[in-house]
Amino acid sequence: MGRTVKDGEQLVLALYVRDLERSAKFFTDLGFVVNRRDGVFMELRWETSLLFLVEMPDVKPPEKAIGNLRVVVDDVDKLYQKARSLGYEIVTEIGDRYYGMRDFVVAGPDGIHLRFASLKA
């Protein structure tokens, strides 16, 4: 059987969010691009990867984050400054990590955490 999806689309995370516009603003502020929208559904793209947002106003965010979504970028320091200047909550300050990356974690709506990282030089 041949491959039926494009590279970067084989594994796609769909997040349930209470307010689609608020969540879309968070992601696009930090560099995601809106690919398409259809009612309560939005498809975002980061380079060749996809992320789906589905509006579910009654969804209850977790009391505590259960993980994060890592996005590798060229200049993590620049994005860190942007996230801070936009007033987003930084839950893990930027720093060099033992696993060979420089990264930080930012909190978004509905308990979503994004980890932005660059490979250490």
Q: How confident is the model at residue 117 (pLDDT cuts 50, 70, 90)?
A: very high
Amino acid 65: pLDDT: 77
Q: What is the biggest distance separating any 2 CA atoms in the chain, rounded to whole angstroms?
A: 49
pLDDT at residue 32 is higher than 70: yes
- Which superfamily does CATH assign the domain made up of 13-57+65-119 to? 2,3-Dihydroxybiphenyl 1,2-Dioxygenase, domain 1 (3.10.180.10)
Q: Is 53 left (phi over 0), alpha (psi -120 to 50) or beta?
A: beta
Side-chain-side CA neighbours of 110 within 13 Å: the count stands at: 20
For residue range 63-111, what is the model confidence (pLDDT) as tens digits?
887 789 999 999 999 999 999 999 999 999 999 999 999 999 999 999 9
**Cβ within 8 Å of residue 56, ≥6 positions away:** 16, 17, 18, 40
Q: What is the token pair recorded at 39?
A: 């009612």
Q: How confident is the model at residue 5 (pLDDT cuts 50, 70, 90)?
A: low
Amino acid 1: pLDDT: 55
